[in-house]
Amino acid sequence: MKQQFLLAAAIVLTAAIPSRADSVSDFFTGKKMMLVTSASVGGGYDQYARLLARHLPRYIPGAPTMTVQNMPGAEGIKAANYLYAVAPHDGTVVGGLQRNTGLAAFYHPDNSGAQFDARKFTWLGSTQQEIGLFIVRTQTGVKTVQDLKTHEITGSSTSRNSPSSIYPRLLNALYGTKLRVIEGYDGSQAALLALERGEVDSHVSGGSSAAFRARFQPWEKDGSARVVLQLGMERDAEYPDVPTALDIAPTPDARNIFEIAFVEQVMGRPFVLPPGVPKDRVEALRKAFDQTMRDKDFLEDAKNQKVEIDPVSGARINELLEKVYTAPPELAQRVRDLVK
């Protein structure tokens, strides 16, 4: 009799306590969510934000609606500050940041403009991770990374703070290559045109979009250019035999520096939640993001827009940022000195 009473009591208590899933669904039902993107209308980050906003709500319990608000400014810092300190911290606002925003305070610790701690954001994930490619004209005679130690070659870049300048500086300092970067080109397409015309010998990219590949891959086919190195945490499936900068790092110190520099690559097109969002909603939104990345309609939509999807989980981004910001002070300063 006592056991029957306890069982009945347990059933009553269980029925009286709503499940976490029901609680999340009840919260989001009828809600109008906002996706704040740090990009202006029409750019790549804006395109990813609008693509995600169309498909993500279907996987959020309660099926809320979602609109996009553009908040460009200060290379993504304006939107990050808004999300951190002003936006509701209840899960109704999602942020689409730029990939360099997460390391802004690391590279420039005295920058008073960045009024946020990147590690306190909850990163939902990234729709794409970037992998840079080191393209060299075959006329230079460079066939491998080893050749770059004995051949002084030029490269095209937009500015000193772009990956096309930063990565060559890291390679020169850490691996002993002889790369001379010519800056001032107006965008990656202009930098590639300089390579095609023979104004420069090479180009180091920060990413490799469909448009970027469409431009240089015909040169690979006709034998006028080749990819000799990859710049990123992962290896591009199209170049399984081309080493990454991590593969050729000559010392553990060099590898650590490259890993810090490449965190931005992994964060390619990141989306975040403000700090302090309730844990059950965080879990639901991260799950919804991951499910969206595998959704057939989403992937078909991306394909039609020629948008590449190579997702990274939010948990991994948070882990990488924690590793960067807790790096030994000597290592952190060395990275800052090499990158600036």
**pLDDT tens digits along 184-224:** 998 888 999 999 999 999 999 988 777 788 889 999 999 99
Planar angle of CA 271, 277, 279, nearest 5 degrees:
105
What phi, psi does 109 have (nearest 5°)? -65, -20
Number of folded domains that form the chain: 2
Nearest to 200 by CA among 240, 157, 166, 162: 157
* Per-residue pLDDT tens digits for 109-140: 887 788 999 999 999 999 999 899 999 999 99
CA count, 13 A, side-chain hemisphere, 39: 20
Q: Which of 309, 271, 273 is nearest to 293 (CA)?
A: 309
CA-based radius of gyration for the chain: 23
Per the structure, the complete domain to which residue 195 belongs is given by 132-263
Tell me which of 247, 263, 279 is where a domain ends. 263
CATH number of the domain at 217, please: 3.40.190.10
Task: Say what the pTM is.
Answer: 0.81
Residues 166 and 125 in one domain: no
**3-state DSSP call for residue 303?**
helix
Question: pLDDT digits over 3-34, tens only?
Answer: 454 444 454 444 444 555 689 999 999 999 99
What is the predicted pLDDT for the residue at 234? 87
Phi and psi at residue 223, to the nearest 5°: 85, 10
What six digits make up the tokens of 266?
């992994």
Q: Tell the residue number behind the tokens 């290559």, with chain if given.
A: 177
pLDDT tens readout for residues 226-266 = 999 999 998 988 999 999 999 999 999 999 999 999 998 99
Same domain? 28 vs 118: yes
- Is 145:243 a contact under the CB 8 Å cutoff? yes
Pairwise CA distance, residues 19 & 149, whole Å: 62
Write out the DSSP string of 211-269. HHHHHHHHHHHHTSEEEEEEESSS--TT-TTSPBTTTT-SSHHHHHHHHHHTHHHHTSS
Q: Which of 230, 263, 296 delimits the end of a domain?
A: 263
> What whole-number distance in Å separates Cα of residue 142 and Cα of residue 132?
18
CATH number, position 96: 3.40.190.150
237 in the same domain as 273 = no
- Residues 37, 18, single domain; the answer is yes
